[in-house]
Structure 1
Amino acid sequence: MTQPSSLISTEQLASMLGDPHLRIYDCTTYNEPVPPGSDVPYRAVPGDKTFEAGHIPGADFLDLQGEFSDAAAQQFFMMPGIAQLEAAFGRHGIDASKTIVLYSIGTMMWATRFWWMLRSLGVEAKVLDGGFDKWKAEGRPVEQGAPKGYPPSTFKAAPRAGLFVDKSVVLAKRDDPSTVIVNALGPQFHRGLEPSRYGRPGRVPGSRNVPAATLVNPADKTLTTLADAEAKFHAQGITRDKHVICYCGGGISATIDLFLLTALGYDKLTLYDASMGEWAKDTSLPIETD
């Protein structure tokens, strides 16, 4: 198994710096804690300050919650309408003719979230393996300061149906033998052994557990090998003939599972966008614990 075509190494990106068709974006957001009893599970803070402190030369910054999410939704990071996304991506110089490289700090999940969003709009992007952490650890060039941005472009979406689903689809599919529902949260949350910041502890009944954290190498924050990922998915009964619905807490870390499933050739994939941020709070929906 070779490197996924949507994954780019730090070495490959370094060799491309200065290419006029290259577009690099820091996608980092931070989920900061909130006081107990708060109506929200965390506070979504854009990573603009860490971007200003250091970023890959020429990169722009994308504010997921501020520009690329549905501000009217009850959950953070919900996929907004096509018109909002076309305008926002266009403002940042993104279109299908460019080589788009996405990265984030601390975890690759913010970059893979944008990758999944763009994929759903018919535009392919690449994710930097190991993100800014690996880039910086290798002593590669770093710029400071606010984003200079790229010349705006015309972003025209070619939406792909079914890459995002809501709770009604998850509820209808949870007993469907042709579908497997995958929880990307840690095992303690999947099993309901610890309190959940999203509401009721536990999982969507019948869902399998492939934690996103187990698909990443902790030493350098790169993705695990395709062989290891496939073994982990197979161990949970996730095979290519199944329709796979992934979820997590807020529709972010599950995109690491989706990224690797895509790289492995799975093609019936979707994301439950609202994830446990919605499911755990809605007492009309069933929940399961060990």
Structure 2
Amino acid sequence: MTDAPLSGLPLPGLPLPGPLLPGPLVDDAWLAARLDDPRLVVLDATALLPSPGHDGDYSSGSGHAQWAERHIPGSRHADLTGELSDHEAPYHFAVPAPEALAAALQRLGVRDGSEVVAYDSGGGIWAARLWWMLRAISVPAAVLDGGLQAWEAAGRPVLGEQEEPAPAAAGPLTPVPLPHAWAALPDVDAVLRGERPGTLVCALPESGFDGSAPTRYSRRGHIPGSLNLPGRGLLDEAGRFLPRAELAARVGAVLDDAASPVVLYCGGGISAAGAALALTLLGRDDVTLYDGSLEEWSADPARPLVQQG
């Protein structure tokens, strides 16, 4: 990745500097060189979602303790199980309304003019989820490629402390929602019935897609007509995104003939965000994410699911 020049604060009368982030993905060297930039907010999005031992075995938890044990200096923990979820929704990890999301981010030090780097210690999907949420309200954001593992492997400093740093000086955060960032249940229904163009794409592993593995939700399988693009299959063994050519080949093998837009889902809208980041890296702008995913879909026994395992 090409390293962009470090921009300082503008002098009075001079134009504001251009965007700090070079794109939706940054590496550890880029971040290390800019940790002190006052525009940059670094958020650890780690959450816990153990694999189910049997159907319906759902449990999740905050990753704050993991942040407290080891984290990038200056970072704060963004709790996707806390105020960064809408707890009135009928499924977990629901995205809050734009104003509520902006208020929660503001308490983490994000304000108008901020740019955010998200990372996690859980394989990158949590950071991708936070990145998509930020993007959906027009907050400039990127994901640290490889997350905390890549940061530590490069010999970068890691802190362990219970006290979170004080957020930057208070300021407003104005959410500007992007159209079509999120798909709701009626949108998915319309695509399934052929009333609206689009391709449903499940980002679960093959065993979750075909129903051969236990699910933490009420029923196994995938929405009829869906294609399978496992989100974790777009990463290498170190948790970094595959090289562009390899990533394009893997995505193209599934989506080359797919109708636009691409409606991504998984179990709970998390792995789907990783796939959304991969598609964005490849230049696609016709991506939407079904927030309720299979947790919402499977809760209604009248909604069809396909099992192949």
Which amino acid in 2 is paired with 1:130? Answer: G
Within 5 Å, which residues of 2 pair with 1:99-110?
99-110=115-126
* 1:116 aligned residue: 132
Correspondence for 2:148 among 103, 113, 132: 132
8 Å CA contact 1:240–1:266 kept in 2: the answer is no
Secondary structure of the 1:88 match is: helix
| Distance across 2 between alignment mates of 1:227 and 1:42 | 37
Cα displacement (A) at 1:239: 5.3
* 2:287 aligned residue: 269
| Distance across 1 between alignment mates of 2:220 and 2:55 | 15
Which has the larger displacement, 7-16 or 188-197?
Answer: 188-197
* 1:81 aligned residue: 97
Cα displacement (A) at 1:280: 1.8
Secondary structure of the 2:239 match is: coil
- Count of residue correspondences: 287
| Distance across 2 between alignment mates of 1:250 and 1:89 | 21
- Deviations for 1:225-265, whole angstroms, at most 9, x for unmatched residues? 22222212221234586110000010001011101111211
| Distance across 1 between alignment mates of 2:223 and 2:127 | 25
| Distance across 1 between alignment mates of 2:173 and 2:180 | 21
Cα displacement (A) at 1:207: 0.4
Distance 1:229 1:34, change over 3 A: closer
Distance 1:252 1:246, change over 3 A: same
Secondary structure of the 2:49 match is: strand
Correspondence for 1:149 among 166, 169, 172: 166
Unaligned runs of at least 5 residues, structure 2: 4-21
| Distance across 2 between alignment mates of 1:143 and 1:283 | 47
Correspondence for 2:209 among 190, 197, 201: 190
TM-score normalized by the length of structure 1: 0.92
* 1:20 aligned residue: 38
Tell me, yes or no, if structure 1 residue 162 matches structure 2 residue 218. Answer: no
Tell me, yes or no, if structure 1 residue 202 matches structure 2 residue 221. Answer: yes
| Distance across 2 between alignment mates of 1:280 and 1:241 | 24
Correspondence for 1:213 among 224, 232, 237: 232
| Distance across 1 between alignment mates of 2:255 and 2:117 | 32
* 1:258 aligned residue: 276
Correspondence for 2:58 among 28, 42, 56: 42
8 Å CA contact 2:114–2:140 kept in 1: the answer is no
Tell me, yes or no, if structure 1 residue 247 matches structure 2 residue 295. Answer: no
Secondary structure of the 2:110 match is: coil
8 Å CA contact 1:226–1:260 kept in 2: the answer is no
TM-score normalized by the length of structure 2: 0.87
Cα displacement (A) at 1:20: 2.0
| Distance across 1 between alignment mates of 2:30 and 2:110 | 20
8 Å CA contact 1:91–1:153 kept in 2: the answer is no
| Distance across 1 between alignment mates of 2:217 and 2:45 | 23
Correspondence for 1:66 among 69, 76, 82: 82
- Deviations for 1:170-208, whole angstroms, at most 9, x for unmatched residues? 111025384111100011111122232212211000100
Cα displacement (A) at 1:17: 2.1
- Deviations for 1:112-170, whole angstroms, at most 9, x for unmatched residues? 11110111101120110000011112221111213113123311001112111112211
| Distance across 2 between alignment mates of 1:123 and 1:32 | 30
Distance 1:140 1:2, change over 3 A: closer
Correspondence for 1:236 among 254, 260, 272: 254
8 Å CA contact 2:92–2:268 kept in 1: the answer is yes
| Distance across 1 between alignment mates of 2:229 and 2:55 | 29
| Distance across 2 between alignment mates of 1:228 and 1:280 | 33
Secondary structure of the 1:16 match is: coil
Tell me, yes or no, if structure 1 residue 90 matches structure 2 residue 106. Answer: yes
| Distance across 2 between alignment mates of 1:238 and 1:270 | 17
| Two-structure CA RMSD over aligned residues (Å) | 2.1
Correspondence for 1:279 among 274, 292, 297: 297
* 1:179 aligned residue: 198
| Distance across 1 between alignment mates of 2:218 and 2:263 | 21
Cα displacement (A) at 1:281: 2.2
